[in-house]
């Protein structure tokens, strides 16, 4: 028998809530079935709170239930993907979508995506065209390669090459280059899943030319060199140069593929970072296939870019797997626009957001942080300190290499500050360091992101009931 004194019985019924005048606007906005479902969910949540003693009946008004239902539907139907403010100091943050797209790429996305396009149509001849040619021409021009191809990502490029060139045959890789790509995807597993038979050579820290030569046999179909972009081996080490591998491959008539990973397209664009081998340098050295990412140091959309000798690219084009790995019109539009920016290297570093964040002097970053701290209310400003920081490239590139930076340090109940910033719209994602909430201004673009972040911090730290516990 139910207790007549049970406070849960005092909650209004869903039917009563729906009949209220205040509910009419919510029903118009979301529809009666959705509002009914939301009210049932919210009422059930309040019942749980009453049962647990965390809330009293007197604290629950009918208007509160309606507001909670409206908020529930807003959160339920909000886009899963939404913009965030990156205050982590990691420029190519994989969890935050890696490289922001240049304005030119965004414009091309809109222009191509809003209607039809010549994805696979040769407008001049009226015949069927080749979707891959839209970017291949730029890649050939910028790398000096004979031909090029674009797929989903670099892992797809490796899988395609192994499956087409070395299915049920041997792929030689140095033991120290068997990297974990990310998300627990390991190169040996990618090779085996693609049909290749992995042959490890050398030791973890030292691999010589003779190790490759000794491993070559009748079943050897591919030599793969992998740039260990997401880790470093230091000390007693030795690596085989790409030029030596090319010579070994030529002598044995075996193609050599070079996975560059990060893809710094042109030298000298990031003076704050050590030099990286470029795709063009790998191609000129003689690698038959060169593979790298579109959304790392290139600063474009996610893509796996493959270029090299025409005979091997042609082989990849004939693979049945290419359809599974092919990219759509939006990726190609954004990638083509990004590649075109490299025609003028002088402006590429300013027009490509990822590069702009990597080349900004630390003094400039600090000046932005200092200027915006003055926009805070005095009480809020007292909780914020300007500090020198170290930013990271991210995206599995330049492991152990830090970039001098600057930003804000917020002491006190940092966990609550972090949660409040992360729960805001848009969320501000920073980092916890030395018992403080850190906002690194290097990854906040000038004039847009940094001003939005400052306004958000002002709200979070300012007076008001919503943030009384911060």
Q: Which helix (H) or strand (E) holds 440?
A: strand 437-440
DSSP reduced 3-state for 405: strand
Identify the burial level of 75 via C-beta atoms within 10 angstroms of its C-beta, where 0-12 means exposed, 13-18 middle and 19 or more buried. Answer: exposed
Report the C-alpha gap between 32 and 15 in whole angstroms: 11
Amino acid 469: pLDDT: 40
Count helices and strands in the chain by DSSP H and E runs? 20, 18
Please give the distance of CA 185 from its chain centroid, rounded to a whole number: 16
Domain ranges of the chain: 15-77, 85-94+356-467, 102-345
Read off the pLDDT of residues 414-425 as tens digits, 9 standing for 90 and up.
Answer: 889 999 999 898
Asked if the model's pLDDT at residue 466 lies above 80, the reply is no
The token pair at 234 is 């230091």
Mean pLDDT rounded to a whole number for the chain: 91
For strand 220-226 and strand 90-92, is the pairing parallel, antiparallel, or unpaired?
unpaired
* pLDDT band at 229; cut points 50, 70, 90: confident
Mean of pLDDT values over 414-442: 93
Q: Which two tokens stand for residue 3?
A: 């207790």
H or E stretch including 90? strand 90-92
pLDDT digits (tens, 9 = 90+) for 316-339: 999 999 999 999 999 999 999 999
pTM of this prediction?
A: 0.87
The yes or no reply on domain 102-345 and CATH 3.40.50.2300 is no
Q: Which two structure tokens, joined as six digits, stand for 72?
A: 């529930």
* Residue whose structure tokens are 């805070």: 376
Q: Give residue 470's pLDDT.
A: 39
**What pLDDT sits at residue 465?**
35
Tell me, rounded to whole angstroms, the distance of Cα 81 from its chain centroid. Answer: 12
Which tens digit of pLDDT belongs to each residue from 102-149?
999 999 999 999 999 999 999 999 999 999 999 999 999 999 999 999
Q: For residue range 250-283, what is the model confidence (pLDDT) as tens digits?
A: 999 999 999 998 889 988 888 888 888 899 999 9
Q: How far apart are CA 93 and CA 170, in angstroms?
A: 35
3-class DSSP state for residue 200? strand
Reduce the DSSP state of residue 223 to 3 states and report it.
strand
- Kindly indicate whether the domain formed by 85-94+356-467 is annotated with CATH number 3.90.1150.180: yes
Percent share of the chain, pLDDT over 70: 94
Q: List the one residue out of 348, 196, 323 whose CA is nearest residue 269.
A: 348
Helices (H), 166-296: 187-193, 209-215, 242-252, 279-285
For the segment 338-355, the average pLDDT, to the nearest whole number, is: 93
Partners of 206 in the beta sheet?
Answer: 238
pLDDT of residue 413 exceeding 90, the answer is no
Q: Which H helix or E strand runs over 357?
A: helix 353-359
Strands 397-410 and 384-394: antiparallel
Per-residue confidence at 467, pLDDT binned at 50, 70, 90?
A: very low
Give the Cα separation of 280 and 260 in Å (integer). 11
Work out the pLDDT band at 359, boundaries 50, 70, 90: very high
CA distance 284 to 394: 27
Beta bridge partners of 438: 409, 431
Whole-number Å distance between alpha carbons of 196 and 221 = 9
Summarize pLDDT for 50-69 with one digit per residue, the tens.
Answer: 888 777 766 678 888 999 99
Of 434, 426, 432, residue with least CA distance to 453: 426
Is residue 2 over pLDDT 50?
Answer: no
Backbone CA torsion sign across 310, 316, 319, 322: negative
Half-sphere exposure at residue 177, Cβ-oriented, CA atoms within 13 angstroms: 26
Lowest-confidence pick of 64-68, 171-175, 271-275, 442-446 = 271-275
Query: Does residue 5 carry a pLDDT above 60?
Result: no
Cβ atoms < 10 Å from Cβ of 244: 15
**DSSP 3-state assignment of 431?**
strand
Residue range 381-410: mean pLDDT, rounded: 92
Separation between Cα atoms, residue 407 and residue 66, nearest integer Å: 41
């Amino acid at each position: 028998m139910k207790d007549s004194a049970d406070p849960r019985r005092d909650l209004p019924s869903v039917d009563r809530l729906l009949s209220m005048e205040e509910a009419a606007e919510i029903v118009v906005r979301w529809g009666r079935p959705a509002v009914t479902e939301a009210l049932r969910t919210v009422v059930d949540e309040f019942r749980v709170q009453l049962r647990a003693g965390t809330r009293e009946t007197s604290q629950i008004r009918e208007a509160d239930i309606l507001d909670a239902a409206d908020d529930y539907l807003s959160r339920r139907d909000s886009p899963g993907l939404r913009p965030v403010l990156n205050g982590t100091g990691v420029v190519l943050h994989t969890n935050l979508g890696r490289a922001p797209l240049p304005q030119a790429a965004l414009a091309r996305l809109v222009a191509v995506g809003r209607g039809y396009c010549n994805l696979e149509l040769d407008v001049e001849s009226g015949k069927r065209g080749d979707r891959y040619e839209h970017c291949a021409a730029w890649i050939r021009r910028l790398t000096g390669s004979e031909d090029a191809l674009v797929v989903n990502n670099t892992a797809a490029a490796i899988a395609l090459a192994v499956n087409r060139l070395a299915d049920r045959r041997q792929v030689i890789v140095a033991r120290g280059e068997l990297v974990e790509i990310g998300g627990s995807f390991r190169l040996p597993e990618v090779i085996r899943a693609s049909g290749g038979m992995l042959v490890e050579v050398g030791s973890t820290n030292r691999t010589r030319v003779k190790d490759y030569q000794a491993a070559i046999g009748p079943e050897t179909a591919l030599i793969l060199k992998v740039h260990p972009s997401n880790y470093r081996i230091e000390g007693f080490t030795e690596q085989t140069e790409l030029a030596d591998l090319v010579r070994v491959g030529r002598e044995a008539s075996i193609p050599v593929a070079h996975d560059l990973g990060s893809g710094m397209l042109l030298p000298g664009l990031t003076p704050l970072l050590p030099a990286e081998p470029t795709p063009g340098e790998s191609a000129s050295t003689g690698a038959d296939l060169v593979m790298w990412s579109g959304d790392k140091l290139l600063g474009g959309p996610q893509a796996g870019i493959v270029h090299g000798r025409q005979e091997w690219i042609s082989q990849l084009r004939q693979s049945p797997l290419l359809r599974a790995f092919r990219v759509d019109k939006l990726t190609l539009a954004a990638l083509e626009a990004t590649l075109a920016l490299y025609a003028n290297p002088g402006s590429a570093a300013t027009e490509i957001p990822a590069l702009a964040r990597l080349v900004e002097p630390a003094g400039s970053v600090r000046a932005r942080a200092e200027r915006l701290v003055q926009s805070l209310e005095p009480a809020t400003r007292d909780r914020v300190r300007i500090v020198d920081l170290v930013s990271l490239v991210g995206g599995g590139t330049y492991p152990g290499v830090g970039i001098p930076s600057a930003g804000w340090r917020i002491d006190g109940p940092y966990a609550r500050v972090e949660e409040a910033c992360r729960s805001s719209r848009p969320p501000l994602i920073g980092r916890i360091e030395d018992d403080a909430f850190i906002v690194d201004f290097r990854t906040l673009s000038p004039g847009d992101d940094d001003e939005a972040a400052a306004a958000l911090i002002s709200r979070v730290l300012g007076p008001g009931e919503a943030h009384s516990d911060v």
